[in-house]
């Protein structure tokens, strides 16, 4: 039976260490890191994610502020708020929760955030730095996954990783991080997507599979080799009348059939989700330190 890679445990260890750093900062008379989240509309998923991020900030001693707008907010108003936050030295990190209503250009909003404050790591500048392997803010979910692999001593060097999905927030940056030179990279990476033919022929060769496509139960036991490591990024809400909410979160991996072949696997929930928040918090502390260094330089 596979080892369960528990994102909650890793995330708690990271938060503990961040807490200690913040305490030292504050005892030295410095302001703790401040993260602002902008939330537009009433989407249930977005509200849950932003709520979890705000709670995590407070737990580690960060300042966490949520700015809420109705889904009728104009693009201009949102961009003006982003600009105001960009100029505010008391704020280190800014996230605008996606998706945004259709009348707002998500790319325009993402690019309006100062790269130094872009703790989601979605800005082209941070993506460019990632692609070049230079220092920048790494996208929170893929970064969190590398922290989790490191915590469990799962080496990536020389391994064949198959990433299913090529989105700008998960699949693409994941493939870059794992193939970059460095401790949590040096892998040989194959990226699969909806146009990949005979996807199973690739996943069967993988030492590590990262499933990030948003199709519940897509990866089944017959698609993976004995002893592989499986990271399930998927979080799709599926109807479940046995739950109070009427739904449950479902990953992209068929846990039952894959876990009997894998050597290690992440569950959903409790795997990648908590690591996205951990990645975001680490990025926010990094942004705080950069802000501090810029002011004292
Ligand atoms: P996305 O933007 O919809 O991208 C999905 C990717 O999967 C695309 O590249 C798509 O290919 C590919 N794909 C779709 N169907 C496929 C198929 N049948 N075979 C192979 N590839 C296929 O999704 P995302 O934002 O990357 O998110 C993926 C999943 O992760 C979602 O369930 C999301 O909710 C979840 N997620 C979880 C976290 C977390 O913290 N746990 C964070 C972010 C996302 P094309 O490019 O060809 O269309």
User: Ligand 1: which residue has its CA nearest to atom 48?
Assistant: 194
pLDDT bracket for residue 295 (50, 70, 90):
confident
Answer yes or no: is 248 within a domain. Answer: yes
Q: What is the pLDDT of residue 157?
A: 98
- CB under 6 Å to ligand 1: residues? 141, 164-167, 169-171, 192-196, 199, 212-215, 233-236, 272-273, 276
Rounded to the nearest whole angstrom, what is the distance from the C-alpha of residue 117 to the centroid of ligand 1? 25
User: Which of 98, 114, 130 corresponds to the end of one domain?
Assistant: 114
Report d(CA 194, CA 239) in Å as an integer.
Answer: 25
Q: For residue 249, what are the domain limits?
A: 139-273
47 in active site: no
Q: What is the pLDDT of residue 65?
A: 96
Mark whether 172 and 260 lie in a shared domain.
yes
Q: What is the pLDDT of residue 44?
A: 87
Q: What is the pLDDT of residue 1?
A: 81
Average pLDDT of the chain? 97
Report d(CA 66, CA 112) in Å as an integer.
Answer: 18
Where do runs of H (alpha helix) occur along the chain? Answer: 7-27, 44-60, 75-87, 106-112, 124-132, 140-151, 171-179, 199-203, 255-259, 272-296
User: Ligand 1: which residue has its CA nearest to atom 35?
Assistant: 234
Nearest to 139 by CA among 289, 280, 259: 280
Mutating to test ligand 1, I would choose from 7, 170, 220 the residue with most ligand atoms within 8 A of its C-beta, which is 170
pTM of the full structure: 0.96
Going by their DSSP bridges, the two strands 229-232 and 236-239 should be labelled as unpaired
Mark whether 151 and 259 lie in a shared domain.
yes
Answer yes or no: is 9 within a domain. Answer: no
Partners of 160 in the β-ladder: 188
Does residue 64 have a pLDDT over 90? yes
Does residue 23 have a pLDDT over 80? yes
Report d(CA 217, CA 97) in Å as an integer.
Answer: 26
Answer yes or no: is 68 within a domain. Answer: yes
User: Which of 25-28's residues contact partners 24+ apart within 8 Å by CB, and which partners?
Assistant: 25/288, 26/61
- Give mean pLDDT, residues 238-246: 93
Mark whether 208 and 83 lie in a shared domain.
no
Mutating to test ligand 1, I would choose from 140, 145, 194 the residue with most ligand atoms within 8 A of its C-beta, which is 194
- Give mean pLDDT, residues 182-191: 96
Does residue 99 have a pLDDT over 80? yes
From the candidates 120, 207, 252, 254, give the one annotated as an active-site residue.
Answer: 120
Nearest to 28 by CA among 291, 292, 279, 295: 292
- CATH code at position 53: 3.40.50.10860
Q: Are 164 and 203 in contact (CB under 8 A)?
A: yes
Mark whether 98 and 200 lie in a shared domain.
no
- CATH code at position 168: 3.40.50.720
């Amino acid at each position: 039976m596979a080892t369960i890679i528990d994102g909650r445990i890793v995330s708690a260890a990271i938060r503990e260490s961040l807490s200690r750093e913040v305490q030292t900062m504050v005892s030295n008379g410095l302001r703790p890191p401040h993260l602002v989240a902008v939330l537009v509309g009433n989407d249930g998923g977005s509200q849950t994610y932003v709520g979890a991020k705000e709670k995590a900030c407070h737990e580690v001693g960060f300042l966490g502020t949520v700015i809420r707008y109705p889904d009728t907010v104009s693009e201009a108003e949102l961009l003006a708020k982003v600009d105001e936050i960009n100029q505010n030295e008391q704020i280190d990190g800014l996230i605008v929760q996606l998706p945004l209503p259709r009348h707002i250009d998500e790319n325009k909003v993402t690019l309006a955030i100062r790269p130094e404050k872009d703790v989601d790591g979605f800005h082209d500048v941070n993506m460019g730095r990632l692609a070049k392997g230079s220092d920048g803010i790494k996208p929170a979910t893929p970064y969190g996954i590398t922290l989790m692999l490191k915590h469990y001593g799962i080496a990536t060097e020389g391994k064949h990783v198959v990433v299913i999905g090529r989105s700008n927030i998960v699949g693409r940056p994941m493939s870059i991080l794992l193939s970059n030179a460095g401790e949590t990279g040096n892998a040989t990476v194959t990226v699969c997507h909806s146009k990949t033919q005979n996807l199973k022929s690739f996943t069967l060769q993988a030492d590590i599979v990262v499933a990030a496509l948003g199709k519940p139960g897509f990866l089944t036991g017959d698609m993976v080799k004995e002893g592989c490591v499986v990271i399930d990024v998927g979080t799709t809400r599926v109807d479940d009348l046995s739950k109070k909410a009427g739904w449950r979160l479902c990953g992209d991996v068929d846990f039952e059939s894959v876990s009997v072949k894998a050597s290690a696997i992440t569950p959903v929930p409790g795997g990648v989700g908590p690591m996205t928040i951990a990645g975001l918090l680490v990025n926010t502390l990094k942004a705080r330190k950069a802000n501090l260094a810029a002011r004292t330089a």
